[in-house]
Amino acid sequence: MNKMVAWEDFIAVEICVGRVLRAEVRPEARQPAYKLEIDFGEEIGVKQSSAQITVHYTPTELVGELVLGVVNFPPKQVGKCMSEVLVLGVHDEAGGVRLVQPEGEVPLGGRVL
């Protein structure tokens, strides 16, 4: 699990801050999931993602939240949803996913360094 990566490989992954604009249940998903619409600021724009974060969050709670997402992966078809961003989270002891979020307000599109 502790495979070393080169610094150049790490900085090639663009992890940026976005704000959830919309969140809705994906009833057709095999695993419970939400379709998110996330604003990453003027340069990156609004992207959508499919996220299996239904254990700890409701769609209403997610709207307005800041999240971190990988914005330079190629889009991936997830069922009927085209996921353009990988939202970052961590599994808790029970298997639910907790979002990785910045503390306080930071600019949309800000990159994790």
**Is pTM beyond 0.85 here?**
yes
Q: Judge whether 111 lies within some domain.
A: no
Q: Which domain holds residue 29?
A: 14-99
Q: Judge whether 59 lies within some domain.
A: yes
- Write the CATH number for 56: 2.40.50.140
Task: Write the pLDDT tens digit of every residue in 73-111.
Answer: 999 988 888 999 999 999 999 889 999 999 999 999 999
DSSP-derived secondary structure for 73-95? SPPEEETTEEE--EE-EEE-TTS
Q: What is the structure's pLDDT at 98? A: 96
- Specify the 3-state DSSP secondary structure of 98: strand
Q: Which residue has the higher pLDDT, 54 or 80?
A: 54
